[in-house]
Amino acid sequence: MIKIRQFIHSFGWPRIIIGLFLLSLFIIAPFVGVKISTSLSDTLIRFGMNGVMVLAMVPMIHSGCGLNFGLPLGIIAGLLGGTLSIQFGFTGGTSFLMAIILATPFGILFGWGYGKLLNRVKGGEMMIATYVGFSSVAFMCMMWLLLPYNHPTMVWGYTGSGLRTTISTEGFYLHALNNFLQFRIGEKFLFPTGMILFFALMAFLVWAFLHTKTGTAMTAVGSNPVFARASGINIDRTRTMSVIMSTWLGAIGILVYQQSFGFIQLYMGPFYMALPAVSAILIGGASVNKASIANVVIGTFLFQGILTMTPSVMNSIIHTDMSEVIRIVVSNGMILYALTRKAEVSR
Amino acid sequence: MSKLRETKGQKLFNVIEKNAVPILFIIICAIGIPFSGYSLNYLGQEIITRIGRNSFLIIALLIPIMAGMGLNFGMTLGAMAGQIGLIFITDWKIGGIPGMILAMIISTPISAILGWMCGKILNMAKGREMVTSYIIGFFINGVYQLIVLYGMGPVIPIKDPALVLPRGYGIRNTVNLIGIRRSMDNVLAIRIFGLSIPVLTLVVIAMLCFFIIWFKKTKLGQDMRAVGQDMEVARAAGIKVEHTRIVSIVISTILAGYGMIIYLQNMGTLNTYNSHMQIGMFSIAALLVGGATVNKASIGNVFLGVTLFHVMFIVSPMAGKNLIGQAQLGEFFRVFVSYGVITLALVLYEIRKRRARYKTGRLLAQDQADMKEVDV
């Protein structure tokens, strides 16, 4: 009994409620005519789409920079990579690879500047990160209009300049990962092997990095800066490096998202993309200053599971689509819960 | 305590740095106004309208700043309460000033409960109030949507079919507030030099300003300032810190509710699912443009901020069109500036906090050096 109570305490009530909620959705689903195989397949696809962006939270949480509300900055690096790759005329699978390569310098550059900024505002990172994300998205809105793109599939037809709000990735990197080694079980269940493998690769890289000397130093900076300084770790440099990693992962994350989703969303598209990623990792059991790869996997699966299951199941039961409201309440409720936990704040 | 000796250059730098944001905005406005091609008369009218429309909301932010809780991003809670009040009076077809007062009466308990809840949560997240209040805004927005989009109709009776979505429940995306449109602005409105001035609205705002000035001098106001200065010292002095903080948020939320009603009576239409989300950002940006910081804001900041921010807001689309040939660019520019100014103000606040610590250190070093000289 005590063990159960300890488990509940360490795992946190909100996570248990969310887990049970998802479980009940899966149990109800067959009775209201929703196919489990389709839902599971959708959940897996959405897991792959969002996994890397959730992974982008890990390095910054480790180095004590808090939740990466500035994810839109990384996303912008990814958008630049994607659009440039199309602009330079790459097609098919190559365009995906090139998008990653082209996004990398932007990710590093933005991450470096963002990291330097966050080093000057220690203690107030999260609020500033949020607004760095917002203002960079707003700034890029102007840039998408002004930058000299001229590839006919991307610019507005009647003026010939200025990028469109949504650009199709068809013919470029649409399903570049999804279709790799994809297989089917039964009629409805599709397993997006390539995308899951790519996520696994990224997760492994982050995991391996966190176990190198630099990675351990990062964790030390996050858990006890005074101790880290005493043992000769350059705190600011380590923090900047973690921010660069987070930003770069955000850039890769959005590219993975786009190749499955089918569209590049520019302008205000990346505006609120940080919140789902933040709440996903928190649902997985992470806190403001502690996160692991397992948190990412569990959290993304639970969060995306709820997102895929609620519309279909709720629609069949009460003929109303309340999924949007549930999404807002669940994701923000989870962030609030994490922000208000005292024990972890003082650690 | 002795003063830190600084060169004239350092002093000038400090003055500029302290007022960086307003100076930047004066420059932007000075460039933008001629390029927009608007007449001064038009601009003057717009500014007066917008002062009447927005000031009340921005003043609502002052009290939590006084209590050291930073910018109250949770003011959206009050805005939502105000909107619920407006939906009811529109349904009951009570217009004019009585309608507005009734909407305020309805919004008060809702704001108070939401504010109390917000204060409780913020007490659990000391040191990160801003980001928490920001997320609370999103969270309650979900609950608001649940009530307004699904609850209004089946659970909460709404009779007017013009309010309800065609599917039979939930409120429409835009609600026409024809009953109370400009009802407050038009009372006692006078014209001076071709500018129409909404006297009653301005009188109400002036009364709120006097209330804030008076409030600062009361026992509660003094307690709040003490809590804002140092929570531990305040606690040692016997002030109920948690309670004081909750009260400050409750007052702010209730005022934000009233402010939203005044704002919407001027606009005349309610965007049921959008109005409240934008208003928090614009109010905070305007206050910061006026030179306020996260821990210090005055009524002067409010009016300077409203004027500068809205001049920028009015002129930038036209200036963008005339300068580069794209009005859309100007629109993106003003969105960027709104977010950019909040970012800048937050960053400057954190940097200043660090510099203040560094200054204290230098002061100590200077004192010790002076003492040594005396010894010699």
| pLDDT tens by residue, B249-271 | 999 999 999 999 999 999 888 88
pLDDT number for residue A345:
41
Rounded to whole angstroms, the Cα distance separating A262 from A172 reads 10
B164 versus A9: the higher-pLDDT residue is B164
Q: Chain B contact for A345, CB < 8 A?
A: yes
Q: Chain B contact for A275, CB < 8 A?
A: yes
State both tokens at A66.
């808090």
pLDDT in tens, B141-194: 999 998 998 888 788 888 888 888 888 888 888 888 888 888 888 887 788 877
**Residue A343 pLDDT > 60, yes or no?**
no
Residues of chain B with Cβ-Cβ distance to A315 below 8 Å are none
Q: How far is CA B140 from its chain centroid?
A: 18
Query: Phi and psi at residue B196, in whole multiples of 5°?
Result: -90, 135
Residues of chain B with Cβ-Cβ distance to A128 below 8 Å are 343, 346-347, 350
3-state secondary structure A41-75: HHHHHHHHHHHHHHHCCHHHHHCCCCCCCCHHHHH
Q: Between chains, do A145 and B326 touch, taking CB under 8 Å as contact?
A: yes
Residues of chain A with Cβ-Cβ distance to B329 below 8 Å are 142, 145-146
A131: nearest CB among B142, B329, B346? B346
Rounded to whole angstroms, the Cα distance separating B117 from A338 reads 17
Query: Which strand (E) or helix (H) includes residue A184?
Result: strand A183-185
Rounded to whole angstroms, the Cα distance separating B31 from B295 reads 30
pLDDT number for residue A342:
58
* Average pLDDT over every residue of B280-293: 88
Q: Between chains, do A339 and B150 touch, taking CB under 8 Å as contact?
A: no
Rounded to whole angstroms, the Cα distance separating B289 from B285 reads 6
Closest-CA distance of chain A to residue B98, Å: 34
Domains of chain B, earliest start first: 8-375 (1.10.3470)
Judge whether A192 and A257 are in contact, CB under 8 Å: no
Which of A98-102, A290-294, B12-16, B24-28 has maximum average pLDDT?
A98-102
Judge whether A259 and A169 are in contact, CB under 8 Å: yes
Q: Chain A contact for B240, CB < 8 A?
A: no
Q: What whole-number percentage of chain B has pLDDT above 70?
A: 98
Residues of chain B with Cβ-Cβ distance to A162 below 8 Å are 326
**Residue A346 pLDDT > 50, yes or no?**
no
Determine which of A126, A131, A310 to mutate to test the interface with B (most B C-beta atoms within 10 Å): A131
**Residue B221 pLDDT > 70, yes or no?**
yes
pLDDT in tens, A285-315: 888 878 888 889 988 988 888 888 887 787 7
Closest-CA distance of chain A to residue B122, Å: 8
CA distances from A301 to A18, A44, A250, A293, A294 (A): 11, 8, 18, 12, 11
pLDDT number for residue A1:
67
Nearest to B71 by CA among B340, B252, B339: B252
pLDDT in tens, A84-96: 988 888 887 888 8
Judge whether A64 and A225 are in contact, CB under 8 Å: yes
A126: nearest CB among B121, B128, B142? B128
Residues of chain B with Cβ-Cβ distance to A72 below 8 Å are none
pLDDT grade for B4, boundaries at 50, 70 and 90? low
pLDDT number for residue A244:
93
CA distances from B205 to A10, B49, B55, B266 (A): 50, 13, 7, 14
Query: Which strand (E) or helix (H) includes residue B137?
Result: helix B129-145
Q: Chain B contact for A138, CB < 8 A?
A: yes
* Average pLDDT over every residue of B316-342: 82
B336: nearest CB among A139, A325, A342? A139
Which of A142-151, A194-203, B106-115, B331-340 has maximum average pLDDT?
B106-115
pLDDT number for residue A291:
85
CA-based angle A136:A139:A144, to the nearest 5?
A: 115
State both tokens at A198.
């790519």
Rounded to whole angstroms, the Cα distance separating A280 from B48 reads 46
The ipTM estimated for the assembled molecules is: 0.84
**Residue B350 pLDDT > 60, yes or no?**
yes
Closest-CA distance of chain A to residue B192, Å: 39
Residues of chain A with Cβ-Cβ distance to B328 below 8 Å are 145
pLDDT grade for A344, boundaries at 50, 70 and 90? very low
**Residue A15 pLDDT > 60, yes or no?**
yes
A58 versus B20: the higher-pLDDT residue is A58
Q: Chain A contact for B250, CB < 8 A?
A: no
Q: Between chains, do A130 and B131 touch, taking CB under 8 Å as contact?
A: yes
Q: Which of B:290-349 have CB within 8 Å of A?
A: 326, 328-329, 332-333, 335-336, 338-340, 342-343, 346-347, 349
Q: Between chains, do B335 and A339 touch, taking CB under 8 Å as contact?
A: no
Q: Chain B contact for A120, CB < 8 A?
A: yes
**Residue B1 pLDDT > 60, yes or no?**
no
pLDDT number for residue B116:
95
CA distances from A287 to A123, A339, A346, B134, B282 (A): 16, 8, 12, 18, 31
**Residue A71 pLDDT > 50, yes or no?**
yes
Q: Between chains, do B343 and A322 touch, taking CB under 8 Å as contact?
A: no
Q: How many CB pairs under 8 A join A and B?
A: 109
State both tokens at B312.
């920028």
Nearest CA in chain A to B124: A340
Sole residue written with tokens 């200077």: B366
**Residue B101 pLDDT > 60, yes or no?**
yes
Q: Between chains, do B125 and A142 touch, taking CB under 8 Å as contact?
A: no
Q: Chain B contact for A293, CB < 8 A?
A: no
Is B265 in a helix, a strand, or coil? helix
Q: In terms of residues, how long is chain A? A: 347
Q: Which of A154-163, A181-190, A323-332, B187-196 has the lowest mean pLDDT?
A: A181-190
Q: Chain A contact for B142, CB < 8 A?
A: yes
Neighbours of B178 (CB within 10 A): 11
Domain boundaries, chain A: 43-270
Residues of chain B with Cβ-Cβ distance to A320 below 8 Å are 150
Say what the pTM is.
Answer: 0.86
**Residue B375 pLDDT > 70, yes or no?**
no
Q: What whole-number percentage of chain B has pLDDT above 90?
A: 32
Rounded to whole angstroms, the Cα distance separating A186 from A210 reads 39
